[in-house]
């Protein structure tokens, strides 16, 4: 079964999984924000630590809300693998906010 994602969210996931920081940053608005388990985080610091510094990988399990709300297995070298939720706000063809946390 293929999970249908919003095209912008698809690009976010592909950039994350490719560990491509430039491609990842290109899919975000200049003022993008994020939260982790309901706590606002500094997006640059969080992604450097949890994604790029930790070899993050996102395996999407299911999607809802037009492909902007995901349930996925997220794996990185810091925490191992965990079931997570991801919610994206897409504005002008880019991600302006994402919220993640344990499912």
pTM of the entire structure? 0.95
Q: What is the pLDDT of residues 10-23, one digit of tens each?
A: 999 999 999 999 99
Topology adopted by domain 7-102? Nuclear Transport Factor 2; Chain: A, (3.10.450)
In the chain, domain spans:
7-102
- Rounded to whole angstroms, the Cα distance separating 29 from 94 reads 6
Q: What is the pLDDT of residues 40-63, one digit of tens each?
A: 999 999 999 999 999 999 999 999
- Burial state string for 62-97 with b = 16 or more CB within 10 A and e = fewer than 16: ebeeebbbbebebbbeeeeeeebebbbebeeebbbb
């Amino acid at each position: 079964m293929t999970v249908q994602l919003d095209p912008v969210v698809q690009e976010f996931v592909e950039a994350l999984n490719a560990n491509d920081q430039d491609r990842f940053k290109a899919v975000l608005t200049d003022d993008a924000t994020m939260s982790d388990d309901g706590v606002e985080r500094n997006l640059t610091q969080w992604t450097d630590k949890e994604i790029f510094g930790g070899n993050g990988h996102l395996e999407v399990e299911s999607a809802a809300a037009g492909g902007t709300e995901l349930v996925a297995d997220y794996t990185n070298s810091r925490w191992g693998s965990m079931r997570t939720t991801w919610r994206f706000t897409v504005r002008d063809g880019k991600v302006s906010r994402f919220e993640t946390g344990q499912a």
